[in-house]
Amino acid sequence: MPVVAAAVCPHPPLLIPDLASGAAPELSDLRELCLAAIEHLAAADSLVIVGSGPVTGTRYDATATGSFGPYGAPGVTVGSPTGTPVLPLSLAVGAWLVEQTKTAALPRVSITVAATETPAGCLALGQEIAQGNERIALLVMGDGSARRSDHAPVHLHPRAEIFDSTVAAALELADTDTLAALDPDLATELHAAGRPPWQVLAGATAMAGLRGHLGYHAAPYGVGYFVASWAL
C-alpha cells in the first residue's frame, strides 16, 4: 500500500520555542515526542502534511512560506524566507516540526482540509492522497477539544473528555472506522479542530494495515493534544 507510515501531532504555536517563552520547558516533552514521531517517517519516498485551512484541497510545496509573526515571533518562518506567508497555522507548525528532523529531506506537499468539510469529503481526500505507487508518509496535524477544562479557550463541555478519549483510543489502535465515524457537529461544538485531518488519515490508511501507537494524550491548557505513530 502506498501509505507506509503516519504521524499525528497537534499544532499549538507554543510548540515553537521562540513563541513559548516561559512555557517552553512545560511543552518540551510534547515537542520532543512530536519530533520523534516525525523522524519515523523518513524512510518513505515522500511526505504529505495535512492540516486545517480555509478550504479543502489547497496544495503547497516545500517552498511555501509560513510566518509566526501573528503569534509574536515575526522572525520565525518556514519555507522560503522571502515569500509571502500563505501557510495556515496547522501547516506552518507541521513544516516547522519537519524542518527540525531528517524527514525534511523528503519531497513534500502540504494539503489543507476545511473545518467544515464533510466526513465523506475528508475520506475522499485521504483516498486521493493514497493513490499512486510512491511510498507515502503522512503527517496529520490536529488538536482535540478546546473545551477540556475551566481554563480552556472555550468553557468546559461535559462531553469534551469523552470525545478526546475516543480519539485517543482510535489513534492507539489505528482504528480508522472510529475516526471516520466522528460526528462533525459534535466536533464543531467541542472546538475539536483535528476532526477533518483525522478523517483524511482514516481515508488514506483504511486499507494500509498500519499499527498504531499513542505516545501522548493530555490537555495541558484545556485543549486536547495527541501524538501518535502508525507504521506497518
Dist CA 45 CA 61 (whole Å): 15
Check if the beta carbon of residue 8 is closer than 8 Å to that of residue 142: yes
C-beta atoms surrounding 158 within 10 Å? 7
| CATH fold of 3-231 | Protocatechuate 4,5-dioxygenase; Chain B (3.40.830)
> How much of the chain, in percent, has pLDDT values that exceed 70?
97
Measured CA to CA in angstroms, residue 37 lies from 42, 102, 103, 139, 187 at distances of 10, 12, 10, 9, 25
Helices (H), 78-218: 89-98, 119-129, 160-173, 176-180, 184-189, 195-205
Measured CA to CA in angstroms, residue 156 lies from 12, 195, 224 at distances of 19, 19, 12
**Tens-place pLDDT, residues 119-166:** 999 999 999 999 989 999 999 999 999 999 998 999 999 999 999 999
- What pTM does this model have? 0.97
- Cα 15 to chain centroid, rounded: 13
Spans of all domains in the chain = 3-231
Check if the beta carbon of residue 107 is closer than 8 Å to that of residue 94: no
Dist CA 95 CA 61 (whole Å): 10
CA proximity to 4, closest of 60, 35, 47: 47
Residue 196's region, left for phi above 0, alpha for psi from -120 to 50, else beta, is alpha
**Tens-place pLDDT, residues 22-70:** 665 678 899 999 999 999 999 999 999 999 999 999 999 999 999 999 9
